[in-house]
Chain A
Amino acid sequence: MALAVGCRARPGKSRDNKTGSWRVFKPAFDNEKCSKCGMCQTLCPEGCVHENTDGFFEPDYTYCKGCGICAEECPKEAITMKQEEK
């Protein structure tokens, strides 16, 4: 890939960096407990929690660093952090 003039870039390339590999703990979402409030999505520093067409939320494990904010802040305690298996 040729160098861009002046060290510039168009969006999209940060996705090449798959930060999911950093993860030590993995959030598990329990839709039975979920109230669909979306707090997990709002507070994720990665922006990697997505709402699906059923209104539930699921993380993109390609980028989820496993910080645990979603689990900590979930008002229904529907998210639990589990040791990553690699």
Chain B
Amino acid sequence: MMEITEGSHAVAEAVRLCRPQVVSAYPITPQTHIVEALADFVANGMLDAEYITVENELSALSACVGASAAGSRAYSATTSQGLMLMAEVVFNASGMRLPIVMSIANRAMGAPLSIWNDMQDSISLRDAGWLHFYAEDNQEATDLHFLAYKVAEDPAVQLPAFVCFDGFILSHTYEPVDMLTQADVDKYLPKFNPSEKLDASDPMSFGMYATPEYYLEFRYEMDQALKRAKGVIAKAGKEFGSLFGRDYSALIETYRLEDAETAIVAMGSVCGTVKDAIDEMRAEGMKVGLLRIRVFRPFPAEEIVKGLSHVKRIAVLDKNVSLGSRGGATAIEVRDAMYGSTIPVKGYILGLGGRDIRKKDIKEIVTLCERGIGDQFYGLRRELI
């Protein structure tokens, strides 16, 4: 059913429909509307879950670890500083192979303190062994939660998942969202029933330590599981499409890319702006297209190579920066994927800490890319530096 709703409320509704038994979260801007809504659902009998009002984010995810190991579907939500306070548990949850789903309302990292949007938070944890989904709009932010649980809990994967959407830009924006019904979700997402859990009738030890004789293989198995997730996403995304009309089988999405000479690669809500800019540039005869990365982990390297093999140049937008390196994470990984190709890959770091990205910025980046200028911050206020 189509409804006009705030992104956070749409996400909270999606989480409610996933029937988590344990919700454990700590308030942080701009995630608060999600957890407030979930607390309200529990208080009014609309969600049959234990809502644990933890004292900080480290405990928020730790409680999810306990709940998930005990066999309950667990959920948390956070952003930025909260995610970093959780960081130790983030690695722990994936290493223990617990399919927790966590929403990230993407926000910049301090210092300087900033409550505004970029993707530095979740991107900084890209090596932690979680699935990374990035939504373009609130419809996707909603739907990706169903997909995330389905994929995370698949026996071939058994890894936790971030569902990321831009803080404020999506979390606080009202958009029309086609919301599934409980019957829809129950049909799509089976009950969480892990084959192994903390259970007195079948005692097991969880979270043992590994000596050098074993550790390497455990990390290899996690890497393999993430790679297997590609196939699981394809299957689960297709099933979602056949049931509800929105197909999420692909890890990437393309827009007017077929005959493009300049390809823009980006993630998240900025892609809406990019699409509008592309339409305008196309009207002026410029052959520009978009490759949007929806799933950052597992990284869709083959899909990117295939999608970009025909273009003349690639402009990668990053709302994050790997300081002291050759750019933002997306540019670095796209360049790695394109290794061996002669197509130039240029990175642009922009929009950090909530700086607006407008259509004219996208057009200017395309022009810069055509002139071979890139691998730089874009939109710096020169008078300040």
Contact = CB atoms under 8 A, between A and B. Distances in A.
Do any CB atoms of chain A lie under 8 A from CB atoms of chain B in the complex? yes
Interface of A: 3, 5-11
Interface of B: 95-98, 158, 196, 202-210, 214, 217-218, 221
Contacts of A9: 204-205, 208
Contacts of A5: 97, 158, 196, 221
25 contacts: A3-B214, A3-B217, A3-B218, A3-B221, A5-B196, A5-B221, A6-B96, A6-B158, A6-B206, A7-B95, A7-B96, A7-B207, A7-B208, A7-B210, A7-B218, A8-B204, A8-B206, A8-B207, A8-B208, A9-B204, A9-B205, A9-B208, A10-B202, A10-B204, A11-B205
A8 B196 CA distance: 9
A6 B217 contact: no
Contacts of B203: 10-11
A10 B208 CA distance: 11
Which 8 A-B pairs give the minimum distances between C-beta atoms?
Answer: A6-B97, A6-B96, A7-B208, A5-B97, A9-B205, A3-B217, A8-B204, A8-B206
Nearest to B196: A8
Given A8-B208, A9-B205, A11-B203, 18 more contacts: A3-B221, A5-B158, A5-B221, A6-B95, A6-B96, A6-B97, A6-B158, A7-B96, A7-B207, A7-B208, A7-B210, A7-B214, A7-B218, A8-B205, A9-B204, A10-B204, A10-B205, A11-B205
B273 to A, nearest CB: 41
B interface secondary structure, majority: loop
B348 to A, nearest CB: 39
A27 B70 CA distance: 42
Contacts of A11: 203, 205
Contacts of A6: 95-98, 158, 206-207
A15 B109 CA distance: 48
Contacts of B202: 10
A3 B211 CA distance: 13
B98 to A, nearest CB: 7
Contacts of B96: 6-7
Contacts of B207: 6-8
Most interface-central of A5, A7, A8, A11 (chain B CB within 10 A): A7
Contacts of B204: 8-10
Contacts of A8: 196, 204-208
A39 B18 CA distance: 54
A40 B205 CA distance: 28
Nearest to A5: B97
